[in-house]
Structure 1
Amino acid sequence: MIRISVDVMGGDYGPEATIAGASIVKKYLPNIHFLFYGVEEAVKPVLKKYPCLAAVSHFYPTESYTRMDEKPSQALRNGRGKSSMWHAIEAVKNGEADVCISAGNTGALMAMSYFCLKMMAEAERPGIAGIWPTLRSESIVLDIGATIGASASQLVDLAVMGAGMFRALYHTEKPSVGLLNVGVEEVKGLYAIKKAGMILREVQLEGLEYKGFVEGNDIGKGTVDVVVTEGFSGNIALKTAEGTARQIGEILNTAVRSSLLSSLGYFLSRGAFRTLKQKMDPDRVNGGVLLGLNGVVIKSHGGANARGFASAIRVGYKMVNNELLKKITADLRRFHENKETLFDKEDEARMNEETI
């Protein structure tokens, strides 16, 4: 039995999307049980619409919920022991749930998870990993916004954790890993990136295959299974890709309505357009994973509908079912056992060197 705690109040649509999403996955995920956390007046009326969930769920009323516009510090101060988000995370800490799913405020979720669950002993910093549609299939990209900046050691940690996530999702024995850089040449980029690349080449970790540096245009190509970067550039890459996808959609929509001939062309090509829409649908690949914590926490997109939230639940289910934490812990331990021989203080002091 996999127990999933849900912050029912999170996201733009709240209980209407989160509970509906749970009802969708209940149909195809076996041995599942939900722990719903939320404000009773908002949740109970929605739960009544889904009697199918009665046998596989339990509702726990909470005093409050975390607003989407709250600052992380404010959300932590106001929500500790009170909010639906806090209780959903705490259920994982107390062993009552195996994974927490929330579509709520990203900063608040990261802060509460960090404060409540603490970091793995083997990990230096947390990271958020997202699923990215590519020409090949899907890739994992991390960090997409948990922290800003990263040392070489922290980038290697992210590589190990991202590869573990890819193995758990796609059952690939040795996922290919690349470091996002301004060029593929070994002399280019920040010192931390070059140092991380050198370490990944030398250590030869069992759970991944290091392929070298990749550029921004390689992400969508699916050149590697896992793309590693620090949170600042990762979040910019994510928002750029989302904006580009929306722009292409709007341009196509305008173009096909511009004339009768264009409309006819769309009618004849609607199968191809349907395939494109499905491939780029953010709901299909929804579910970012907060890695490096002593527990599995999944961040759903705040604007996700029921189908999108169901995708986030599915990601969490797979992470637990395939023992993500156990695999990541073992891989990180192997790396850190050799860490002292790979780093020296003088090396780490040269973080800001770069070659474009």
Structure 2
Amino acid sequence: MGAYGSRGADQAALAVTAGEPAGIGPDITIAAWRRRRELALPPFYVVADAAFLERRAGELGTAVPLAVVEPEDAAGVFATALPVVDLAMPVTSAPGRPDASSAPAAIAAIRRAVADVMAGRATAIVTNPIAKNVLYRSGFPEPGHTEFLARLVHESSGRECRPVMMLWSPELAVVPVTIHLPLADVPKCLDEALIVETARIVAADLMQRFGIARPRLAIAGLNPHAGEDGALGREDGAIVAPAVARLNAEGIAAKGPLPADTMFHAAARASYDAALCMYHDQALIPIKTLAFDHAVNVTLGLPFVRTSPDHGTAFDIAGTGRADISSLVAALALARRLAVREPVAA
């Protein structure tokens, strides 16, 4: 938690947001708590409308004891009841059917979780999936979770931070340098400074959070064959290669630009701790192929730990009990490990 908060990570619970109420976030949170002993889960509390969670448990055919608590008391009741920090904000959405209560509840949960972790009442944040289109219809101004988290940090502390999305699994860690852009716009938005700034943040968090003394970064080329010496595009020579040179001059172990089609087999992955990719699918296709059910979304560059399951709201199966909890379980375990600074092999 850096300088924020006074309670140790071994005393406070994780703050878990329920996410989009009409999605599977409430379902997998309830299911994870029910298997807390079997999976040796760290203590957590849910930021949600308690009455809504009780109703969803009933819809799932699951009897779950709930305890409305303050964050400081969550760890003490976790063994016998699912701790809930009640938003006192009625939620009326049904599984698979978001309504006017959905966006305000999702936003309020994120706000409360950030306030708790910044004050030291929670050890880290785990966010369940939100539905961006639902938030946008309510007037939500941010592109997504990570940008909203950065704004909340600034509002509460005056601190500017640039969040970076990393998808992590034991098999592979990837960072998309550009994220939600049309592919045609990527070359226009990609520049040397963006690659260098992103890599600095990744290297710093791999050292400070993951316990890797000297992180090794593999930097993908933008074009096929990393540009083939300019025959297949000039961006790799003009943008990516100078960025890699700057990083090495700063003492950051970086190699590239590398052809993306040979970066992700087992022997190649053993040579680096994280791969920086130039666009969304270049990063997400390999990790979702290797670790579809247990990859974790980790936000780097924040003054606290934030993880999230690497999947969406899955409206089509919400309320059915069929949602897979694997990614949430991995997100909970990783958040705890990062918060207590337990070395994590990337």
Task: Using structure 1 for the length normalisation, give the TM-score.
Answer: 0.62
Q: Please say if 1:128 is aligned against 2:172.
A: no
Residue identity matched to 2:257: F
In structure 2, which of residues 17, 26, 32 is the aligned counterpart of residue 15 of structure 1? 26
| Matched-pair contact (CA < 8 Å) for 1:151–1:192 | yes
After TM superposition, the structure 1 stretch with the greater mean CA deviation from structure 2, 100-109 or 185-194, is: 185-194
Residue identity matched to 2:192: A
Q: Distance in 2 between matches of 1:178 and 1:318?
A: 24
Q: SS at 1:213's partner residue?
A: strand
Q: Distance in 2 between matches of 1:80 and 1:25?
A: 25
Task: Looking at secondary structure, tell me which structure has more helix per residue.
Answer: 1
1:59 maps to which residue?
84
Alignment gaps of 5+ in structure 2: 1-9, 67-76, 133-142, 315-322
Residue identity matched to 1:139: A
Aligned 1:25-40 pairs, distance under 5 A: 27=38, 29=40, 32-40=42-50
Could you tell me how far 1:101 is from its partner in structure 2?
0.8
CA deviations 1:105-164 (Å, max 9, x no partner) are 27432232121123999976321000267xxx3233344737873543332232233234
2:282 maps to which residue?
237
Could you tell me how far 1:314 is from its partner in structure 2?
1.2
Could you tell me how far 1:60 is from its partner in structure 2?
1.4
In structure 1, which of residues 78, 93, 99 is the aligned counterpart of residue 124 of structure 2? 99
1:288 maps to which residue?
297
Could you tell me how far 1:58 is from its partner in structure 2?
2.8
2:64 maps to which residue?
49
| Matched-pair contact (CA < 8 Å) for 1:127–1:144 | no
| Matched-pair contact (CA < 8 Å) for 1:4–1:98 | yes
In structure 1, which of residues 173, 194, 211 is the aligned counterpart of residue 255 of structure 2? 211
| Matched-pair contact (CA < 8 Å) for 2:114–2:125 | yes
1:352 maps to which residue?
none
In structure 1, which of residues 146, 150, 161 is the aligned counterpart of residue 201 of structure 2? 161
Q: Distance in 2 between matches of 1:122 and 1:88?
A: 17
Task: Using structure 2 for the length normalisation, give the TM-score.
Answer: 0.63
In structure 2, which of residues 246, 249, 254 is the aligned counterpart of residue 202 of structure 1? 249
2:325 maps to which residue?
306
Residue identity matched to 2:201: M
Could you tell me how far 1:41 is from its partner in structure 2?
2.6
Residue identity matched to 1:305: D
2:151 maps to which residue?
115
CA deviations 1:314-351 (Å, max 9, x no partner) are 12112212189xxxxxxxxxxxxxxxxxxxxxxxxxxx
Q: Please say if 1:179 is aligned against 2:235.
A: no
Q: SS at 1:83's partner residue?
A: helix
Residue identity matched to 2:301: G
Could you tell me how far 1:98 is from its partner in structure 2?
2.1
Q: Distance in 2 between matches of 1:132 and 1:20?
A: 22
Could you tell me how far 1:79 is from its partner in structure 2?
3.4
2:71 maps to which residue?
none
Structure 1 residues 18 and 219, CA, compared in 2 at 3 Å: closer, same or farther?
A: farther
1:86 maps to which residue?
111
Structure 1 residues 3 and 199, CA, compared in 2 at 3 Å: closer, same or farther?
A: same
Q: Distance in 2 between matches of 1:66 and 1:42?
A: 7
Could you tell me how far 1:288 is from its partner in structure 2?
0.8
| Matched-pair contact (CA < 8 Å) for 2:201–2:300 | yes
| Matched-pair contact (CA < 8 Å) for 1:101–1:299 | yes
Q: Distance in 2 between matches of 1:322 and 1:153?
A: 29
Residue identity matched to 1:198: A
Residue identity matched to 1:211: K
2:172 maps to which residue?
138
In structure 2, which of residues 240, 253, 256 is the aligned counterpart of residue 193 of structure 1? 240
Residue identity matched to 1:141: V
Q: SS at 1:313's partner residue?
A: helix
